[in-house]
A = this chain, B = another copy of it.
Amino acid sequence: METAFAHVRSMCPLVHNITNYVTVNDCANMVLACGASPIMSDDIGEVEEITAICNALNLNIGTLNERTVRSMFAAGKKASELGHPVVLDPVGAGASGLRTETALGLLREVRVSVLRGNISEIKTLASGSGTTKGVDADVADQVTEGNLDSAVDFLKDFAARTGVIVAVTGAIDIVTDGAGAYCIRNGHPAMGTVTGTGCQLSAMLAAFLAANPGNFLKAAAAAVSLMGLAGEKARARMTPLDGNSSYRNYIIDAVCTMTPAALQEGAKYEMR
């Protein structure tokens, strides 16, 4: 994981984001924190041109609308043509037909490299049967030590079927390309009290893919582990007066001050 992270810092890839307006500032600062450079652009009149000068594309449907959905398809197809890695974050898939159908459409028409979501969003896309609590995973869906094996099997099958690397984040994160699966145990439950840690990870994932063209699976696992480890280090820094807003800042800070060696040392994962 050390090398994958070091490549981001040395390459400083440019990441095109079409993302929601809730967490967009945090996404930009997170991309900068990991060593890459962000650009946000969502108008149909420029997204193909913008994505062409970038090294990766991050599509996030968190506050999708008719206008930006069209731009996501246009940018996604252009990035596919150019062989750029594409991350899809299907925020709230399952919460509305528009979200579910947009995410499924993008999976069909765009060569998505990594699909990152919570387990309910991914289940919705894989089988049409996830139930979401808005933009959070449903408690009944959550991955635990008890159901980890069946979750891994389910996600491997979905990844193999679609040819997309699937990254599911939660208490235990799973990143799989259908053959191998990283089970990652970094992170802290308090990350759920900060809006947009998933969105930030997706933006960072795009940077990791751009800098590691030879090995998307390892790169994706490194980004997921880095986000979780940052959540741990940020948590350790909190004082009794700190709440979720300071925690938000500390998580981004922790990515910014993290070294590739520290990631290597702190990453907690196994292969299944």
Contacts and interface: CB of A to CB of B under 8 A. Distances in A.
Interface of A: 14, 20-26, 28-29, 32-33, 37-46, 49-50, 53-54, 62-67, 92, 95-99, 133-136, 193-196, 237, 240-246, 248-257
A196 B25 contact: yes
B134 A33 contact: no
B50 A95 contact: yes
Nearest to A233: B241
A65 to B, nearest CB: 4
B237 A241 contact: yes
Nearest to A94: B53
Contacts of A40: 20-22, 62-63
Contacts of A241: 237, 250, 253-254, 257
The CB with the most chain B CB atoms within 10 A, among A46, A133, A251, is that of A46
15 contacts: A21-B24, A22-B25, A22-B28, A28-B195, A29-B245, A32-B194, A39-B95, A43-B66, A45-B65, A45-B66, A53-B95, A193-B256, A243-B252, A243-B254, A244-B253
Contacts of A254: 241, 243
A243 B253 contact: yes
